Homo-oligomer: A and B are copies of this chain.
Amino acid sequence: MQRAAERIAPHAHRTPVLTCTSLERRVGAALFFKCECFQKGGAFKFRGATNAVLSLSEAEAARGVLTHSSGNHGAAVALAAAVRGVPATVVMPRDSARVKLAAVAGYGARVELCEPTAAARQETADRLLEETGATFVHPFDDARVIAGQGTAALELLGEVADLDYLLVPVGGGGLASGTALAAAGLSPRTRVVGSEPEAVDDAARSLAAGRRLMNPPGPTRTVADGLKTSLSELTFGILSAHLEAVVTVSEEAILAATRLVWERMKIVIEPSAAVPVAALLGGGVTAGWSAGRAPRVGVILSGGNLDLDRLPWQATEGDKS
């Protein structure tokens, strides 16, 4: 992972670590927020994509990279490919937000639209991989991507000593796996705690059951749209071995935490990034804490990409009416 950090250092931002007195008072802990919303492309995803793209051989790189994504990973791969100056193709569902399509295209990638189903996505990707000979860069089921995502925690742990807890959101588990591996190497006593929406709680159920369980197929409604994916065998294995717990939170708690971070910290985070903050505010993370001092808690604020035509808390009110 140290090698991943060196590889991406010339290209990625070393994002700042911010604190917030009012949130610390509320939680009763010292809090250190690693602001990946300030990362290139607006999310930690740039780290993993860049490490993957820079790890390719010259011959592989020349044939380009391909991924499918409707969110931050697509933009990250497009940006990472531009860093190396190689072609990128991103397969995106036809119903993706226009702002996201424009972002990926704006970073110089070729956008290929497909029907909004998993089958169509796979078929389109397979066809294009065959045509181009490009390398597929998976959003999380890839050791190079995981190592890249872990560099955020590597920076945080190098900058802030003696963290008792380190909190991350869990979707496919790439960020959580990288974070857990970084902590295991650099600060084994730090407890890494995952968090996810109740609506897509596959990681919590999988860790409880000791085997990988999936989120139900079909559309799922959560404001944390970056966390809908289920774990892969690879990320399940890493998280089983290294995660202290996975805390689940309600949609209301996610929205309240999103707003609180905007209001108190003045940082635009997307609801997916607020999930660990919601877990912290709910009290579930530090419930078992019994040392004679307040715990020191690191939180990775994963990203800040969202539609600014509406506030997330307004969108929900609108849906209710």
A286: shortest Cβ distance to chain B, in Å? 24
Contact (Cβ within 8 A) A265 B308: no
* Min distance, Cβ A13 to any Cβ of chain B, angstroms: 8
Asked if A98 lies at the interface with its beta carbon under 8 angstroms from chain B, I say no
Find out whether the CB atom of B263 lies under 8 angstroms from the CB atom of A38: no
Q: Which of B19, B268, B311 contacts A267 (CB 8 A)?
A: B268
CA distance A267 to B40 in the complex (A): 14
CB distance from A127 to the nearest CB of B (A): 33
Given A16-B16, A18-B16, A311-B311, decide whether A304 and B266 contact each other with a Cβ distance below 8 A.
yes
Q: Across the interface, do B266 and A37 meet the contact criterion of CB distance under 8 Å?
A: yes
A2 within 8 A of B: no
Question: Would you list which residues of chain A between 3 and 17 have a CB under 8 Å from chain B?
Answer: 13, 16
Docked Cα-Cα span, A320 to B263, in Å, equals 26
A42 at interface by CB-CB < 8 Å? yes
- Residue among B21, B38, B311 making CB contact with A265, cutoff 8 Å: B38
Most buried by B among A19, A37, A263: A263
**A268 touches which one: B18, B21, B266 (CB < 8 A)?**
B266
The residue on B at minimum CB distance from A36 is B266
A274 neighbours in B (Cβ, 8 Å): none
A263 proximity list for chain B (CB < 8 A):
268, 308
| CB neighbours of A42 from chain B (8 A) | 266
Question: In this complex, what residue of B is CB-closest to A18?
Answer: B38
Tell which of B40, B266, B310 touches A21, judged by Cβ atoms closer than 8 Å: B40
The reply on A269 being an interface residue by CB < 8 A is yes
Contact with B along A30-58 (1 / 0, CB 8 A): 00000001101010000000000000000
CA distance A269 to B311 in the complex (A): 15
Cα distance A248–B311 in the bound complex, in angstroms: 29
* Closest residue on chain B to residue A42 by CB atoms: B266
Contacts A42-B266, A266-B304, A310-B311 aside, 6 further interface pairs with beta carbons under 8 A come to A18-B38, A38-B266, A266-B269, A267-B267, A308-B311, A311-B311
